[in-house]
Structure 1
Amino acid sequence: MIRRILILFSFMWLFMAITCDNEPYEGDVVVDEIDNCLSATELTAQALVDFANTDVDSYNLLCQAYRDALEDQIEFCGDENGDLQYIIEGLGDCVIDDNTNTTECEMAAEASAIALENLEDAITVEYTAACIAYREALENQIFNCGDDGTLLNLILELGNCEPEIFNVVGDWKLIVWQSDIPRDIDNDGIETSDYLTEIDCFNNETASFNSDGTGTLYYRESMEVEVSSPTNDPTDLEYSIECFEDIRTFGFTWTQEGDSITVTLDSDGTVLDFFRNGDVIFIAMRDFFVATSTSSNVDDIVQDIIWAYVQF
């Protein structure tokens, strides 16, 4: 579960970089790098489909092509949690040992296992490609191994490989403030990228989505943060936080298209773009975390935060 959450937040940062004026936290984003990452991801998905249909004669070539695609994806997209490298290591040297008398059936079963692992780890935008690759691997396994109905049932369960429609209706609670810059906000000597675990407030911020397309955001606290350097070293930071009761409610209307939820506030028409992945909905909050400097050699901190909600 932890591994999946880490993968989720890795995807969140890519999503935020693409949707928020193409600006990351610090410095300009190079749009070509984003395009290269997306292209590399698509090529990896296609290479997996090809590898899913491998046989003895084509195994080495298609395995190597898949491994190369994974390595390119790591180069252009990164691999923060090592998931892609884990797959590469599982592929080995892509050479079949003739002494093992590996059969077409054994190879097809191995390809199915790899495709299933990719499907289980796939984020929403990759689900369809990973599902198709797994389906084709199962079909290839049936061709080479036969089937007592078990593999066919797995194929039928996959359906048309469309992600299930996500129902956002219900009550949601804020659980994470995710950043790509770890900080020790509570001054305990441990940095973390989830700022909410460092702050003793915002413990009951919720959102309600009604079935009639209306809803309410509930904010119950606000805060002021100051940052200083007790040693006059700009890398040695100390924070002070003050939380205030600040009860506010914002009515809204909402629409949903796939995993995207568009919220429009009743008060002023402000549009908030939520996105869903797994059991989490999240929103990128631009310039949300602000820490005012009280030291001459320390700059104010202003950065983006991803808010993540789970249903309760």
Structure 2
Amino acid sequence: MMKKLILLSLVFLTVFSCGDEVQFNTPAFQGDRENELWRAKGFSASIDVNGFLTITGTNAVEAVKLTVPSVIESTFIVGDIDVIEAQYVDAFGTTYSTTNEPDESVSIYPELGEIVIEEIDVVNGTFTGTYRFLAFDASGLNSVGFTNGIFYKVPLISGEFPTDPITCMDVTVAADVALSAYEATYASDLEFVDSDAFAAACSAYANALTEQRTFCGDSDGSLQAIIDDLGDCQISCEIATANMEEANSQYVTATIGNYSEKCAQYLFYLQEQIEICGDVDGSIQAEIDGLDCGDTDGDGVPDAYEDFNGDGDIENDDTDADGIPNYMDNDDDGDGVLTQYEAKDEDGNPLDTDGDGDVDYLDNDDDGDTLLTINENADPNGDGNPDDALDTDGDGVPDYLQA
């Protein structure tokens, strides 16, 4: 009861402060238009399916429409975001809106106004509050200003009160959560910054900030400044370069077992670096052109490791002298066991079963017993896979690997 008395007092003070000619009605929708009283003869409120509240006042030929994005008692700033709008339609059908920016010859910055929902009477379905705004026509050259605007006990005639209307606190918390998720995508302890994850989290954060502007306002422009700083949500050149440098460090320490993976990874981050940073002197592209991540024969040994004599020419390396260079030969030592099935450790690196210094995929006598692997029934069915290799003593170790 006390709240209503205070509200009535404020409304009367507001109305009578602008002169004796301003009168108060219950219910009411009125205000000073260019310092002259404007009063609506009809007024109503509606709530759309998205929870937006619109309060409208009309007389025979003019209308004022106030729209806010949530059915809550709060102050909404007009003039800085489009979803909060004050609109005036004059007798000639010209629409003036706070979403129209003024022409630069009139003003560089739009004037900020406010719509204040002071009381929502859910039981009786009415809205009470105040408003003030400066609205421009589509050209941005002409404007209409309203001050000392009030609406009192305007009835809801369309839509329903939402059970859980969005509040400024709701969207502020959501923006904080989105910020944490965004910051996590470029945390200092990450091996690489995933550009896709970064972009997705950045975009989500920008959307959350936009929601915060919508429901909380942004009169000082600080939220919009953050949104602008996010830009197109692309990782920076500094991050792209750091990714490339980490990938390079892993590439140069790669082994046979992980070379293809690390080479492809390095190639990816080099290409991303060009995309983000550019390549003025062509040095990045030169590095890309010099990479060889391939495994021509698909034997698990990258081509970069098939240059055994180290002369830079993989065409003249032919371990089994069968006329096929190793990088094109899927059985490098010609022992009947395909290179991809020769002994490897858990990381995919070749092993040397007999300790003679030659890894098995380059050794035609894998167990060093002077019997060539191809003569120890390493692959009875001839498919190159030694899963069916002869194991004479049944000890689980095939003959070709047991001296």
Bigger radius of gyration among the two: 2
- Give 1 or 2: higher strand fraction: 1
Task: Compute the TM-score of the two structures, normalised by the length of structure 2.
Answer: 0.22
Answer 1 or 2: higher relative contact order, Cα 8 Å, separation at least 6.
1
Structure (1/2) with the larger helix percentage: 1
